[in-house]
Each structure stands twice: as structure tokens, then as C-alpha cells.
Amino acid sequence: MTTRARDRVRHADPLPLHRLQVAPPQAPPFAIGSFDALGPDSRAGYPHRHTFYEIVYVTGGSGAHVIDLVRRPLSPPHLCVILPGQVHHWEQVSGLRGVLTLFTEDFLLAHPGDRQLLRTLAEQHWLRLPDAPSGGDGDAAGIGPLVRAMAAEFAAKADGYASVLEAYLHILLVRALRLPGARRPDAAAGRAAEVAREFGLLLTGTAGAERSVGAYAARIGVSVGYLNEAVKQATGRTPGELIRAARTLEAKRLLAGSSLGVGQVARRVGFTDPAYFCRFFRRETGLSPGDFRRRAVTQEPERRGEVGKLGEAGRQGPT
């Protein structure tokens, strides 16, 4: 079974796009396996996106993982979540070991609330797990046995295995959010909190492509005023600020990970006037698009650290 396919069609997306492929027709949109089992694309050293979610459980190895320009040196055991549309790659890795869990949006139908849990975990980039008592591969937080149980269930494919995997995934997300240092999702109740969460999920999925607060309000089915109030109450920032942050992050992804010219990047993120895009980008980041690209492609560790900080600034709030 092919679990990942790479699509380099430039007119569709200037960054390589990995898709999840499963054997039709009954197989759930889910795969799990080691880096070796899932093939070389599982440790790709070039910036790329996914059309699926990926939970990365790293038990060994050295190097770094870069997610949306934020560089995290490996110090296993680690756990992280990569959302569809995020850009990531592995950098100078050696001896990389662990398990990857891949699934599409359709796999979350039984537990739709897991979308918010995944988004909360993705905002934290890496969760450092306590070391296994024996000092070998694994961790002392119970994540390893749960991941291995998922892999065994997937391999056996006994009756009802898809529903068991859905339950295991939910348990994994809940347990991950209990880890020391993990930030819990907003538990606020009520219509306003629900609207704010829906806006955040839409913003993550569209990278700010809707551009106007009114367009997002229409998609959610509320007034612009209500959306402004709900989002400001939940995040401390206005929808407009968060849309600008999402568009800036997408521009950074394209500048750092593709060969598109500045004018092409501008059009990709919704600007018809490249000069206006350059002013927007400088206002949001303090750098021109050209300067940002030059910093992003510089390989010295200290420069990569600066770029990482810039990338992280673009991920504040529900982006």
C-alpha cells in the first residue's frame, strides 16, 4: 500500500504536495508506520506540504525539524502535530527513528472535536516527552505504548479496526495535552466561543485566503460585528489582525520554500499590486520580501535561528 504520494505540479502549488493514498474502497483514510516503513518522503529534507494530518513521534536521532520556518533541534523523545497546509522539512537528520501517524479530515468524523485538539497541539510545535526509565527508545509518559497499540491494530485489521483507531487517536490527543508544558485548548462554552473556534479552524485551513472579515463571517453564518466581538474576546486580537498574520505566514512559506518571484507570491496571497504587498509585508515583519527570502535561505545556524523567530511571530493566535 502506498501511503504517501508526492505532487510537484507547480501550477497547483509551488511547494511539493504530499497526499495520503490508501487502498480503496473500504480502507479508512489512515496510515501508521516507522520512518523506514513509510519511505524516504517521510524524512524529506525539502520544504513541502501535506493534504493530511501527521502526528510525529520521534524516539531517536539527531538533526532538526523545521515547521513553518521554526527550527527545532531534535532531543528525543518528541511529539508534534503537523496540520494540512503547513510547510515542514527535516534538516541534517541522522539515525531518525520513530512512528508517524497519518490521516485525513474524513478520519475525524467520529470525533469532530479532535480538530481543535490537533490545532492546539500544532501551535506548540514540539512537545518534549520524559525519557524512558531504561534510557532506551520510548518515553515515560505512556505515549509509546499507545502509538504501538495503534500500529498493531492497524496491521491486524480485525473487524471494527477503524473505530478502534479513531478511539486510540482521540485518547492520544487527550493524553498529549496532559503532558507537562502542553497548553490546553480553550474550554470556554457558548455560541461566541464556538464561533471563535470555527474562525480559527477556517483561518488555518485557508491561510487567510478569504482576505476580508466579512467573507469569514458569511461562511460561519454570523454578522461581522459578532465575529469581531467573539474572536477578540477569545484571543485578544481582532479577526483582521489574525487574517493579516495568516497571509503573512503563507507569504513567508512561499518566499522561503519556493522559487516564485515576489510578484507571484503577492498574487498567491491575494495582492494584485506587488508594491502594496511589499509594503504590507514590511509592515508586518520589519523586512522586505527580498530580505526575508535571503535570510530564510541562509544556512548558518544563527541566521536560521533569526528566521525561526520570524516564523514563530506569524503563528500567534489561531492561525
- pLDDT in single tens digits along all 319 residues of the chain: 445 555 544 335 688 888 888 776 667 899 999 999 999 999 999 999 999 999 999 999 999 999 988 889 998 999 999 999 899 999 999 999 999 999 999 999 989 889 889 988 998 878 888 887 776 667 888 899 999 999 999 999 999 999 999 999 999 999 999 888 777 666 555 778 788 878 887 887 777 677 789 999 998 899 999 999 988 888 888 999 999 998 998 999 999 888 899 999 999 898 999 999 999 999 999 999 999 998 887 743 433 343 333 343 333 333 2
The verdict on 166 and 197 lying in the same domain is no
Domain boundary among 176, 206, 228: 176
The verdict on 135 and 266 lying in the same domain is no
Q: What are phi and psi of 22, to 5 degrees?
A: -125, 160
The verdict on 17 and 117 lying in the same domain is yes
Cell numbers found for residue 157: 485489521
**3-class secondary-structure state, position 217:** helix
Cα torsion angle, 119, 124, 125, 129, sign = negative
Query: In sequence order, what E strands does the chain have?
Result: 4-7, 17-20, 30-34, 49-50, 53-67, 70-73, 78-82, 88-103, 127-128
CA atoms within 13 A on the CB side of 284: 28
CATH of residue 153's domain is 2.60.120.280
Q: The whole model's pTM is what?
A: 0.77
pLDDT given at position 159: 93
pLDDT given at position 311: 40
Domain boundary among 176, 203, 220: 176
Question: For 159, left (φ over 0), alpha (ψ -120 to 50), or beta?
Answer: beta
pLDDT given at position 148: 95
pLDDT given at position 11: 38
98 falls within a domain? yes
The verdict on 156 and 244 lying in the same domain is no
Which residues, 6 or more positions from 291, have their beta carbon under 8 angstroms from its beta carbon? none
Cα torsion angle, 47, 13, 68, 294, sign = positive
Rounded Cα–Cα distance for residues 228 and 237 (Å): 9
35 falls within a domain? yes
Rounded Cα–Cα distance for residues 124 and 159 (Å): 36
Q: What is the pLDDT of residues 200-230, one digit of tens each?
A: 878 877 776 777 899 999 988 999 999 999 8
79 falls within a domain? yes
The verdict on 18 and 80 lying in the same domain is yes
Strand partners, 193: none
Is the CB of residue 112 less than 8 Å from the CB of residue 118? Answer: no
Query: What DSSP designation does 139 have?
Result: B
pLDDT given at position 313: 34
For residue 77, cis peptide bond before it (omega within 30 degrees of 0): yes
217 falls within a domain? yes
pLDDT given at position 30: 95
CATH of residue 248's domain is 1.10.10.60
Is the CB of residue 172 less than 8 Å from the CB of residue 81? Answer: no
185 falls within a domain? no
Residue given cell 512537545 in the structure block: 127
The verdict on 148 and 215 lying in the same domain is no
Domain boundary among 125, 145, 176: 176
How far from 22 is each of 28, 31, 104, CA to CA, in Å? 8, 8, 11
The verdict on 239 and 297 lying in the same domain is yes
251 falls within a domain? yes
Domain count of the fold of the chain: 2
The verdict on 42 and 150 lying in the same domain is yes
186 falls within a domain? no
Domain carrying residue 277: 191-313
- Report the length, in residues, of the chain: 319
Cell numbers found for residue 291: 530580505
The verdict on 170 and 254 lying in the same domain is no
The verdict on 90 and 113 lying in the same domain is yes
**3-class secondary-structure state, position 39:** coil
* Interior/surface letters 211-240, b for 16+ CB within 10 angstroms, e for the rest: bebeebbeebebeeeebbbbbbebbebbbe
* Interior/surface letters 106-126, b for 16+ CB within 10 angstroms, e for the rest: ebbeeeeebbbbbbbbbbbbb
184 falls within a domain? no
Which residue type occupies 8? R
Rounded Cα–Cα distance for residues 162 and 28 (Å): 6
The verdict on 171 and 197 lying in the same domain is no
- CB neighbour class for 269 (10 Å; exposed up to 12, middle 13-18, buried from 19): buried
The verdict on 172 and 26 lying in the same domain is yes
